[in-house]
């Protein structure tokens, strides 16, 4: 039985300093499933003190000790993937097969990738007159979102452990159970007490206390750009490191001569995956203006086959969005698109046909969208795709970069050479060519208002390391 009314601090399950809780609602039924405890600044203080004490010894552990620890975590994690998938499905609405394979699988993938990096990473580099040493940054505060809960937890916790850091995790209050299972896994694996701590709570209380805490050396935050700005402001007086992975409005550029059916179909399916709740979703499809009607017809065909329904139901493609607030925001933006004159090709406002409860959004396609329309500018974070026409390649690139965000970009072209050429012009941290998916060993993160840090692989490990230059290290 997962313990939702306590926190994991200093190697033990403990009661909150002040008893307070909130219901966790199943987005498919709109019904509360259980309560989860909410923390306060006093709980943060306890967790930080434990992490500070643990850092004195854990920071000195050997590579071999941390390799053995990650191997143990991975072995235990594998045995609980179905349980993790079920929790994610119930709490944020992902279809159960997708939650088990992709949501739980993403966490395992990052643990395994980090283990591989740790085995090979060079923590010391010899220069002509000095040695550069990479050491753990210290105590890390981690704030993670609800949309890919295990993905974001694992790609922070794994490299922090590998680096020798200690940490306090605040997962989303909308998806607490998978994080609590993760804490149980780390406890069973023998992570030393105080190294990993977990407090559930709200951003304005626990998140703010972590961001401002003088004894936290670094904040790793994933979430909205608005919340990321608040975290950075609160962290500034203590000059702690702040690593952020924030929002996106990613362009999907389809050039003249590309395989239109393949590119459009793949782009729409990617957009609708996870009910559109991915920060790097290809939400702006930019196509040759002369092919708009053809593109819209292909996109409509995909939308019509996309079934929004019970996450545990047979044949469900996408589940609900996470909560009523998100549903209402998406509905308002769909209505705004209609109001501003975009062509509604599929979907629209309201619940899908045959659905009378749950936070379900109709898979929606807008064509003839202008770059200055609201639905072209704002991150919708739901299964809503906008299709924008460009007169030529130059205008397509201009539209792609006309955004305050810069997390991802996608290019489909008649040749790989042309895809490379256009991909190099897109101002984003991740660019995918010809439908090739992300590589977990490559860095993930954004330009501009999509963030300032990198996660995944070697680059993710280095976020948690300080660089020390030692002159005279090799002097006789």
The phi, psi pair for 314, rounded to 5°, reads -70, 130
Among 91, 165, 184, 279, which one carries the catalytic annotation?
279
Cα(255)–Cα(235) distance, integer angstroms: 43
Cα(158)–Cα(461) distance, integer angstroms: 8
Computed over its alpha carbons, how large is the radius of gyration of the chain?
23
Does the annotation count 424 as an active-site position?
no
Q: List Cβ neighbours of 205 (8 Å cut-off, separation of 6 or more).
A: 38, 39, 40, 41
Cα(165)–Cα(223) distance, integer angstroms: 22
Cα(224)–Cα(231) distance, integer angstroms: 11
In 3D, which of 59, 419, 30, 390 has the Cα closest to residue 258?
419
How many other β-carbons are positioned within 10 Å of the β-carbon of residue 474?
Answer: 12
Q: List Cβ neighbours of 462 (8 Å cut-off, separation of 6 or more).
A: 134, 454
Among 184, 245, 379, 463, which one carries the catalytic annotation?
245
Does the annotation count 279 as an active-site position?
yes
Angle at 21 between CA 19 and CA 23, to 5 degrees: 165
Catalytic residues: 245, 279
């Amino acid at each position: 039985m997962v313990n939702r009314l306590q926190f994991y601090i200093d190697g033990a399950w403990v009661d909150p300093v002040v008893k307070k809780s909130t219901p966790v609602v199943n987005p498919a039924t709109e019904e509360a499933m259980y309560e989860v405890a909410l923390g306060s600044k006093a709980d943060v203080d306890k967790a930080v003190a434990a992490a500070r004490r643990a850092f004195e010894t854990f920071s000195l552990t050997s590579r071999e000790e941390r390799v053995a620890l990650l191997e143990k975590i991975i072995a235990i994690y594998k045995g609980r993937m179905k349980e993790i998938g079920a929790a994610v499905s119930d709490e944020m609405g992902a279809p159960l097969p997708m939650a088990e394979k992709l949501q739980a699988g993403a966490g395992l993938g990052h643990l395994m990738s980090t283990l591989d990096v740790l085995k090979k990473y060079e923590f010391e580099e010899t220069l002509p007159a000095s040695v550069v040493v990479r050491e753990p940054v210290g105590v890390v505060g981690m704030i993670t979102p609800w949309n890919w809960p295990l993905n974001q937890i694992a790609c922070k916790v794994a490299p922090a452990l590998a680096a020798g850091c200690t940490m306090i995790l605040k997962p989303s209050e909308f998806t607490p159970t998978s994080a609590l299972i993760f804490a149980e896994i780390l406890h069973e694996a023998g992570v030393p007490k105080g190294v990993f701590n977990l407090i559930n709570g709200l951003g304005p209380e626990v998140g703010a206390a972590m961001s401002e805490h003088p004894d936290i050396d670094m904040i790793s935050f994933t979430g909205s750009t608005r919340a990321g700005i608040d975290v950075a402001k609160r962290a500034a007086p203590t000059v702690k490191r702040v690593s952020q992975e924030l929002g996106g409005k990613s362009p999907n550029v389809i050039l003249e001569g590309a395989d239109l059916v393949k590119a459009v179909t793949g782009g729409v399916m990617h957009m609708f995956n996870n009910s559109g709740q991915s920060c790097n979703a290809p939400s702006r499809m930019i196509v040759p203006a002369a092919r708009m009607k053809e593109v819209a017809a292909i996109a409509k065909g995909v939308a019509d086959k996309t079934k929004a329904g019970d996450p545990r139901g047979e044949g469900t493609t996408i589940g609900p969005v996470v909560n009523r607030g998100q549903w209402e925001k998406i509905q308002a933006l769909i209505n705004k698109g209609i109001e501003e004159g975009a062509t509604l090709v599929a979907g629209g406002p309201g619940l899908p046909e045959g659905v009378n409860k749950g936070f379900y959004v109709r898979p929606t396609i807008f064509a003839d969208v202008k770059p200055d329309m609201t639905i072209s500018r704002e991150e919708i974070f739901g299964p809503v795709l906008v299709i924008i026409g460009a007169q030529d390649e130059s205008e397509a690139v201009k539209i792609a970069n006309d955004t305050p965000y810069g997390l991802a970009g996608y290019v489909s072209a008649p040749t790989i050479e042309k895809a490379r050429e256009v991909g190099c012009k897109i101002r984003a941290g991740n660019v995918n060519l010809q439908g090739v998916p992300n590589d977990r060993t490559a860095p993930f993160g954004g330009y501009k208002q999509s963030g300032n840090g990198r996660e995944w692989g070697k680059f993710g490990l280095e976020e948690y390391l300080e660089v020390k230059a030692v002159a005279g290290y090799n002097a006789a």
